[in-house]
Chains A and B, each alone.
Chain A
Amino acid sequence: MSLDRDTVRRVAKLARISVNEDRLDDLGHDLNRILGFVEHLDEVDVSGVQPMTSVASQTLRWREDRVTDGGYPEKVTGNAPAADHDFFAVPRVVE
């Protein structure tokens, strides 16, 4: 399997990373190199093998559904590039 320019463009779009047209070929080359490497897995017979979900074979713990932290919006928004009245300020998304 090999990635063409259109696929690289589509993956970049899905990953929300803008990629200039002049970088598509180089990036495609690198990605194909990596995909070619991981395709060695095609040799392995995995019939009847369960996919791993956790190395520790543990189940997730339950906890009581209650608030354990919070009440400081100014700390939460303290690192925001833009904040207003304890809210994150983002570019307009609806007209």
Chain B
Amino acid sequence: MTDLNELTLAQARDGLARGDFTSVELTAACIAAVEAARPLNAFITETPEKALAMAKASDERRASGTVGLMEGLPLGIKDLFCTEGVLTTAASHILDGFHPPYESSVTTRLWSEGAVMLGKLNMDEFAMGSSNETSYYGNVVNPWVPEGDNRRYVPGGSSGGSAAAVAARAVLAATGTDTGGSIRQPAAFAGIVGAKPTYGRCSRFGIVAFASSLDQAGPMTRDVRDAAIMLRAMAGFDPKDSTSVDMAVPDFETALDGDVRGLKIGVPAEYRVDGMPAEIERLWHQGEAWLKDAGAEIVPISLPHTKYALPTYYIVAPAEASSNLARYDGMRYGLRVPGKDLVETYEGTRAAGFGAEVQRRIMIGTYVLSAGYYDAYYLKAQKVRTLILRDFQQAFQGVDAILTPTAPSAAFAFGEKSGDPVAMYLNDVFTVPASLAGLPGMSVPAGLSATGMPMGLQVLAPAFDEMTMFRVGAALERAAGFDARPAKWWVS
């Protein structure tokens, strides 16, 4: 029999239902895999005792006939979600020792559906990064390594710990959050599925805020079905989040017949960017061919403002971050570095508590919002954002979904891009536009690069049409038949 930690959510759900094993047995297998995977540094906090207690409670619920959507399934939680009584750091020094007195709404939903928490996953500090090199708790290592290469590779970011833990088969699935690509890009780099739903689907309550008009939670899983199962459990209206949408959550699993006959799939000309590796371009064409073979119609489309999405994002997101992160002043929680007066205490605390990338973004945000520059930067960016949304709205009048690569390259080695902030930002060139427009998007592992590293294809759908996103994602998954696994070099 396969090791229990190797199962998908759906396989584990069905095995638990048949009584083949208990949640305690499944959870124990995952705890062992989490320990074995420590060289990846995917976790900031492991919670094995809590996991076993939750698993035992789940087995008891099942015995009494109560079975939630995620009953008994062990997950990792990105350390951006507040978890009551469990250290929550956003991978920042400034949240030292923070034990939230409350639980995020998304995790509350997961626990009430029976899920089990294995621990809190490493990430880029405050979700600012695309390579998981900005965490105060150190880099997360991608389980994937090109054969014969003795360097280590980044898992993408910001949900790098989530991606690595799922790919390493340490957790069955994990939560992620996506502000400009932080679910989809690491999913592509780690050969897993990552889905960002429409803005407003998942409550932001209790998720440490980065850029509030962009932040969305979503599932990171081993296959498309698991993403559908988990998103259903995470999504839903929450009065505690003013931008949460009061709309029924469909059973996304019913979209997974992979029948895309008659669907029109848009392929945007503007996503063919300069310097894109030929293998990414080939994978994209392969994706078109797969969907065409499955009965979809491929339609060339234009999203003319695509090249302005990243510059827009790097005004809007830092501006919102500079406001959101003003709360870290050393007074109510986390780190305090005492100075000779209040202002010096603020300044010293924030200088010591925030890492270099977070400081850069706060300062950019402060600058673009400062007197005299607001109109030139922030207001202008919000207007361009309207144009980017309009591009998508026009495109979706003629197509049902859009197909693009997820990232402009496969995973890169540590240090390759960390010297230049703008080179790092370019990783998110294909994911940021949909974030700015609030649209659902998912990455599906679709092939391997010449060096054997995973690459993903992205499916975008109209707002609140995750069903079509999953339908197309399932068709891609079926055609790609991606079953490659990283060699378990980290197990000694």
With CB as the reference atom, state the residue of chain A lying closest to B307: A40
A77 to B99 alpha-carbon distance, docked (Å) = 11
The 0/1 profile, CB within 8 Å of A marked 1, for residues 368-394 of chain B is 101000000101111111110100000
B213 interface residue (CB < 8 Å to A): yes
Distance A20 CA – B182 CA, assembled complex (angstroms): 32
Contacts of A11 in B (CB 8 A): 363, 366-367, 370
A34 touches B364 (CB 8 A): yes
A71: interface (CB < 8 Å): no
**Which residues of B sit under 8 angstroms from A75, Cβ to Cβ?**
101
Q: A41-B380, A44-B308, A93-B342 are in contact. Are A79 and B98 (CB under 8 A)?
A: yes
Q: Are the CB atoms of B421 and A30 closer together than 8 Å?
A: yes
User: What residue in chain B is nearest A43 (Cβ atoms)?
Assistant: B308
What separation, in Å, do the CA atoms of A35 and B315 have in the docked complex?
A: 9
Given contacts A31-B363, A49-B386, contact A55 B332 (CB under 8 A): no
B338: interface (CB < 8 Å):
yes
Q: Which residue from chain B places its CB closest to the CB of A17 in the assembled complex?
A: B350
Taking a contact as CB atoms under 8 Å apart, the answer to whether A81 and B314 are in contact is no
Contacts A41-B312, A75-B101, A81-B336: A49 and B383 contacting too (C-beta < 8 A)? Answer: yes
Q: Within the complex, what minimum Cβ distance (angstroms) separates A57 from chain B?
A: 9
Neighbouring B residues of A53 by C-beta, 8 Å: 382
Contact with B along A24-64 (1 / 0, CB 8 A): 00010011011101111101101001111111101011010
Q: Which of A14, A41, A60, A61 contacts B308 (CB 8 A)?
A: A41
Contacts of A79 in B (CB 8 A): 97-101, 332-334
Which residues of B does A touch, CB under 8 Å? 97-101, 199-200, 213, 239, 242-243, 245, 305, 307-308, 310-312, 314-315, 322, 326, 329-336, 338-339, 341-348, 350-351, 354, 359-360, 362-364, 366-368, 370, 377, 379-387, 389, 420-422, 425, 436-438, 463
Given A18-B347, A44-B305, A50-B383, 5 other A-B residues pairs in contact with their CB atoms under 8 A: A15-B362, A51-B385, A56-B438, A61-B239, A91-B345
Chain A contacts to B: CB under 8 angstroms: 3, 7-8, 11-12, 14-19, 27, 30-31, 33-35, 37-41, 43-44, 46, 49-56, 58, 60-61, 63, 72, 75-82, 88, 90-93
29 of the cross-chain contacts (CB-CB < 8 Å) are A11-B363, A11-B370, A12-B363, A14-B370, A15-B322, A15-B366, A16-B350, A17-B347, A17-B350, A17-B351, A18-B351, A31-B360, A31-B363, A38-B315, A38-B377, A40-B308, A41-B308, A41-B381, A52-B382, A54-B213, A54-B243, A56-B463, A78-B101, A79-B98, A79-B100, A81-B334, A88-B332, A90-B342, A93-B341
